[in-house]
Structures are given as C-alpha cells and as structure tokens.
A and B are shown apart, each in its own frame.
Chain A
Amino acid sequence: MQWEVVIGLEVHAQLSTESKIFSGASTAFGAAPNAQACAVDIALPGVLPVLNRGAVECAIKFGLAVGAKVNRRSVFSRKNYFYPDLPKGYQISQFDLPVVSGGELVIFVDGAEKMVRLTRAHLEEDAGKSLHEDFHGKTGIDLNRAGTPLLEIVSEPDMRSSLEAVAYAKELHSLVRYLDICDGNMQEGSFRCDANVSVRRPGAPLGTRREIKNLNSFRFLQQAIEYEIQWQIDTLESGGKIHQATVLFDSDKGETRAMRSKEEAHDYRYFPDPDLLPLEISGEWMAEVRSRLPELPQAKRARYISAFGLSAYDAGVLTSSKELAAYFEEVAEIYPEPKACANWVMGEISGWLNKAGIDIHDCPISSRALAGLLIRIGDGTISGKIAKEVFEAMWNGEGGADDVIESRGFKQISDTGALEKIVDEIIEGNPSQVADYRAGRDKLFAFFVGQAMKATKGQANPAQLSEILKKKLAG
C-alpha cells in the first residue's frame, strides 16, 4: 500500500544586521566567549530591549519578496521557558501578530514547477550556545549568539518528498541571499531548518508529525527526512503508533532520535511583551523598501529566458545564486553573446570552481577577464580548443587572455597568404594522398587538415584553412 509523505519546514534565518535585535552588541561570528554579550543580552536586572530597525527592514524585504502581507501592526510576545542559554527565561518572539503573513515560493523539482505556501515569517531573538565539551561534567554557556536577530519562516505542509523539501530549502536559501538579509552560512548556523514530517494514506487526514530540529546542511535535511519517513512507515506498518515528538538527527549514525530535554509538555505562557510597544510599519516605509528591492530569482530567470534566449535549465542554474548570476551578467555585458557566456560560466567556470571547492566570489578569473577570453574566440584570434588552454593558464594566474595568447604564441594564423603557402607545401609533399583525394576519397580531407594544423601548431584558423584546402585540392 502507498504512503503519502507530508512535510513542512521552519527555517531560522539569522539576519545580517550589524547589531543584535534588541541591543547594540555586535553579531559578528567567532568572538571570544561572551565578549559580545552586553548587559541586555545577559539580562542584567533592569535592562530593557530596544528594537533594531535593520532587523525589521529585513523582514519587510522578505515579505515583499514572497508576495506576503507585511502587517502594518505586529506585536512582540514573550515565550517563557527556562534554559541556561536563554538568559531572560523568555525569548522575545512574535506569536499572535507576526510581521509577515502568507506568501509563497515556487520551487523546481525534476523540471516541474511547484508552489509552496508560506504560513508566516516572524522576528525573534536567537538563544546563546550550550557547549557540552567537558568542563568537569558541566556545560559552558556562551551568550554571544543570544539576541542575534532571526526571521523564522514557516511553510505550510505542502511538500511531499525529501527532494521537494530540499528544493524549497535551497530556493529559500537563495532568496534570502538575493535579498541580502542573511549570509546563508549553514555551517555557522545562519540558516537552520526544522522539518515537520508525517505520513498518511492518500486522502486520509494528516498523520501525527515529528519535528526534526536544527538541520544545518541540505544533505542532512534530505537524509534526516528520508530516515524519518522510513522509520514512520516501518513503525506504522508493524502496527505501532507515531507520537508527537521533537527529534534530533545524528549525522554520524544517519538516524533521528527523540530529544530528552524537550520531552516534558511545554506551556510557554506567551503574552505581549510589556517592554515593547506594537511595531507599526508605515506604507511609506514599505514603499521605500520595495523601491530598493533587488531583482529576485524568479524574475531574473524569466528575463534570462526571454531577453537572453537561454533555456529554462540554463536560466535556472545561472540564477541559483545571486553572485553567479551577477558574474554571468557582467560577462554578457562586455561580450553580448549570452549563450556562449552561459556555456562558459556553467561549464569551465563552475567546473573549475567545483574542483577547487571555492565560491564564485573567490574565482581567480574575473568576469571581465572571462569576457576578454570570449572576445578572442569570437574575433577568431584563438580557437575554442586553444581557449581552454588559455583558460587554464588564466586560472593559474598567468594573466589575461591576451597576455596568455601572446606569451604562449597561441595566436591563430588567419593570414591567407601564410596559410596558402603552408597548404602548397603539404600538397607538394603528399602527392599520392592528393591523387587519391582527387580520385574521390573525400575522407582524406581530414588528413590534410591534420597536416596543416600540425604545421601551424594548431593555430590555423579552421574555417579559413578549410576554405583554402578545398580550393587548392580541387586543383
């Protein structure tokens, strides 16, 4: 019998503000323990929160980008629970009235488009970190992260497979980076996913869900969901029941396991934070933010197809990250042959970046330099084959395309007189092959091309060479 999988994601995106959401402490990653935990962050008696405008602006950008309702009025509430990395004993979050309601995100799975609905996105503060390394059997608390602004983005349970969940997470990841509201660094925890997973018989009501917490890579997201799906199906098929639970993914074992500390029933006692008044976002502010909104992946994709004549696939790959798209557009700006530019960016550039394990912004060949190379292919200075050698030399820091062509003597021979002279010598030196060719062995044409290339060290302009050969061999 078939099972239908139902997945919803909650993503916590750390917002790229300079300071924390309710204090003036820095949000930079990697400081010495508690060096960035100010009086407000460590919840000294008497301190009070003041909301960071930058964090609100990030939320507005996101809301506008996903076509959501940016609420004119939203409210901060306290979520009360005790945990050593939660200094106030409550987290300031949004409950009844979030800053963003609704919205949607289009994802692509196996070439097909699918729309995932968003429930809401709300602002809240991050907690500190509990370090479980051995401090004589104790836990160390670092509050540098406490108070870092988060946008919690909650989807509807619209995904039906781990692949869809990953595609959604990637699309969201790309979007927040396009918007420049989150650096997307998953290793540092800037973009964390919780997955709510349940299974049911098609048409049946929703099954009981289990929430997998804190997945910090797309690979773990996929593995954890797949393990969880199989575990739930196995449990149900062997007559067991699923109980609502919060689970952690053990990436070493590839398994999910229930969290012990979250087992007790929660009663968060939400209520509006009396230290903070309602947040109001004016129409003017929203319009102002909208006017500064960058072109978003979907629009960019459409433009690449219509204006550049690229395939949907190419447009999708190129727009998958803001930086890659920007690189491509810079190349195409200088060398307006979008298809050729796309091929080189997706082919050589992506391939070499992948091999080197680096990002586009660390690419040793600038967009301008790549365009320079493409110009030399276009104007016939070098052949496509030579271009790959030139590319490698450029990658290794031997300079721009022209420098490499010059220093390595790669310049293509397009001088008709010179080529005619070489062809004459070949005809003279290979009388029997000439006779055979003239007698009808057309395949020998490749032999003469090979000879000519050998004689010119591959630098003959292929089109020109072919023309001269045909003329001379014809007698």
Chain B
Amino acid sequence: MSISLNEVKRIASLARIAVSDVEAEAARAQLDGIFGLIEEMQAVDAGDIEPMSHAQEIVLRLRNDAVTEVDQHEAFQKGAPEVEAGLYLVPQVIE
C-alpha cells in the first residue's frame, strides 16, 4: 500500500503534530516502508481467533470508594508552562 501526502497530513493533524511539506514528504516515504512491513500481517487468515488485549487472563481489580488524595496542586503546578490563580492557562478555547 501507499500512503498519500494528504493522509500523512491528516494523521499528523489528528495527532496534533505540526509537519511542514518537506517533513510530510519524508514521513510519507518512511511510513510507506513501515506499512510495507506491517502489511505482511494481512496474509494470515486469523478467522475468529479472539483478539488478545492483555498478556494475562485476569479480571479487573477494583478499589474501594474512598478519598485517599490530598491537595498537591502547588507542587504539581511548579513546572507548569502557564498558571494563574491555580488554573492552567491555554490560548483561548472557542466553543
């Protein structure tokens, strides 16, 4: 298969990664190579084998409903790019 430049740009946009045209072209060639490798998988008829999501066949362990965390927002916000009045600031969001 071959990935188009537009597809590369669509994926980059979905993944929120800026790509220039030159970068997109380079990425296209490399992704083509990677998908060439991945395509080998398609030759196998896996039929109705159950997909394997986890290495262990165990079920989810649950925690009891209890508050165990304390306010640490000052420590957490020490390295934040932009904070004001305890809030993380980002460029204006338009709904």
Which chain A residues have a beta carbon within 8 Å of chain B's beta carbons?
Answer: 17-19, 23-26, 31-39, 42, 44, 50-56, 82-84, 130-132, 135, 137-143, 248, 259-261, 267, 269, 272, 274, 276-280
Contacts and interface: CB of A to CB of B under 8 A. Distances in A.
Contacts of B34: none
14 contacts: A18-B67, A26-B69, A32-B73, A33-B85, A38-B72, A52-B62, A55-B65, A130-B93, A138-B92, A139-B92, A141-B90, A248-B95, A269-B14, A272-B53
A301 B4 CA distance: 63
A42 B76 contact: yes
Given A277-B54, A279-B60, A140 B87 contact: yes
B68 to A, nearest CB: 3
A305 B82 CA distance: 61
Contacts of A272: 53
A279 B14 CA distance: 30
Chain B binding surface SS class = loop
A276 B76 CA distance: 25
Given A39-B76, A261-B93, A277-B58, A34 B65 contact: no
A135 B83 CA distance: 10
A35 B90 CA distance: 19
B86 A33 contact: yes
A140 B88 contact: yes
Q: Could you say which interface size class chain B belongs to? A: 35 or more
- Is the contact region of chain A dominated by helix, strand, or loop, or is it mixed? loop
B44 interface: no
B52 to A, nearest CB: 11
Given A19-B66, A84-B90, A248-B95, A140 B76 contact: no
Interface string B32-51: 00000000000000000000
Given A53-B63, A261-B94, A279-B60, A138 B89 contact: yes
Nearest to B51: A272
A55 to B, nearest CB: 7
B88 A84 contact: yes
Contacts of B66: 18-19, 24
Q: Which of B76, B87, B94 has the most CB of A within 10 A?
A: B87
A269 B11 CA distance: 11
